[in-house]
Amino acid sequence: MTDCFSVSDCDIIGFDLDHTLCQYKLRESNKLIYDSFAQYLVAEKGYSEELLSVAPEEWDFCSKGLVLDLEKGNFLKLGADGTILRACHGTKTMSAEQIEEAYGEKREWKHFKAINGTYARSAKYYFYDNYFDLPGALLCAKIVDTLETKTDGEKTFDFWKDMISAIEHNYKTSAFKENCGTYFPAVKRDPSKYLKPCPESVKNWIRSLKNAGKVLLLITSSHSDYCRLLCEHIIGKDFEEMFDIIITNALKPGFFSLTPQQRPFWTLENDVEIDALPSLKKSGWYSQGNWIQLYDHLKTLTGKPEPKVVYFGDSMRSDIFSVRRYSNWEAVLVLEELEGDEVHEPDVTDLGSSLKKKGKYDSLQHQEPYFVSNKWGSYFADTLTDLKGAQETPIITWCCASIMNYSTIAIPSIKAIVDLPLDYKFTRFSSNNSDTDGYYPQPPKVLLLQKKEGAAA
């Protein structure tokens, strides 16, 4: 494997849809997702009506990369080795003393080995790694707060089954067609309230890929009817012409981790799955499926025994880790935390004479309110505070380590790379390169600072 990655070297370009090709207006979509769950829990499960209102400052709780310890009702921010860097019980910040009381002097979370390197889900914990998840994290934290107000007997935090019911009610396969729940009816009524249009520069870039002979894939866990609404709204009625193969209801990470027998492809008719297929024979729309049969079909389409594939996605669990763990594809992480406050903005002199990156910072300004949480700090690194209040050397988070371990490169958005030539050579994450080299256009400030302090030590 070379130290560089280039889109032009790839035969097939694949895209996730939500928060990758389709960007959401986070303020509005977060509130809608929160309301869709909270209203269900109050109306159907008898939860406190206090959950229906969210004060503006409460949204600061939302931060990707948190783990909910369902046994204790605690939210955890983990270091690369599983050390608990920060924690909250419900929405309440836990002191270093409280963390050590709950998890021991070494602040070790006992399930870290189970989740690290697998991203497996469990009845004992939940990992929040995408923007669809975050409003649910705030809701769960507020549920813990309400349960703590109960004075009768020992407190248990067995609300997760009800959260699962709320998720299934709002996002089940038939919910869009049936106008069920709160989420889909609202987006159908007013897509522009929640969705950002796909920039013309991105659409032109996708067309340039096709003109260059690339095979283009769209692989999303969204169902076909919701996928169509999104694509028609952000791209246009002709969006199908951009892609050779569209796979919906992919149920990632199962699309990558399961066998053809476990997860066959299905044909679609009026957004209903009709026939399971023994293999793929042509391009078009499909539902569910698996990467193995898709890759066999891509060999036929390209006429190559081992065509090179790159997949762009925003979820470490569903996209990046599963792509790298189970397939032979490259994986580009679309990470909105690389916009704005967390990112070093270089002088023009840093960019070299070609100025290839000039202008990127005008278009990648920090416009949404929830990228950097004051409560949780940087997504990429933190400092441990012991009981004496002494701060140790900054250490990277588990999420940051995962980016370096499983991503080819990490970018803030697809828009960030569309003005580059297709043969632009990105420096990939690898053991041969610096830990910050895989970020484009610039690494997070906190990592550069950590690197500088390490060099000076």
Do residue 353 and residue 389 come from a single domain?
yes
pLDDT score of 176: 95
Domain final residue, candidates 189, 213, 247: 189
Domain count, the chain: 3
Confidence of residue 157 (pLDDT cuts 50, 70, 90): confident
pLDDT digit string, tens, across residues 87-114: 999 999 999 999 999 999 999 999 999 9
Active-site entry in 16, 35, 271, 382: 16
Q: Domain of residue 361: give its range.
A: 337-456
pLDDT score of 369: 46
3-class SS at 21?
A: coil
pLDDT digit string, tens, across residues 371-405: 679 999 999 999 886 666 666 767 899 999 999 99
Q: Are 100 and 387 in contact (CB under 8 A)?
A: yes
Backbone angles phi, psi at 229, to 5 degrees: -60, -50
pLDDT score of 450: 76
Active-site entry in 18, 133, 225, 319: 18
Do residue 161 and residue 111 come from a single domain?
yes
Residue 444 gets which letter from DSSP?
B
Do residue 46 and residue 164 come from a single domain?
yes
Provide DSSP, 28-59: HHHHHHHHHHHHHHHHHH---GGGG---GGGG
Domain final residue, candidates 311, 334, 357: 334
pLDDT digit string, tens, across residues 265-284: 999 999 999 999 999 999 99
pLDDT at 61 over 80: yes
For the question of residue 18 being annotated catalytic, the response is yes
- What is the average pLDDT value for the chain, to the nearest integer? 90
pLDDT score of 351: 36
Do residue 436 and residue 373 come from a single domain?
yes
Q: What is the torsional sign of CA 364, 368, 371, 374?
A: positive
C-alpha radius of gyration, the chain, whole number: 22
Do residue 268 and residue 345 come from a single domain?
no
3-class SS at 269?
A: strand
Confidence of residue 358 (pLDDT cuts 50, 70, 90): very low
Domain final residue, candidates 147, 172, 189: 189
For the question of residue 145 being annotated catalytic, the response is no
How many CB atoms lie under 10 A from the CB of residue 348? 9
pLDDT digit string, tens, across residues 44-53: 999 999 999 9
pLDDT score of 348: 39
Do residue 218 and residue 86 come from a single domain?
no
pLDDT at 119 over 80: yes
Domain of 281: which CATH number? Answer: 3.40.50.1000
pLDDT at 241 over 70: yes
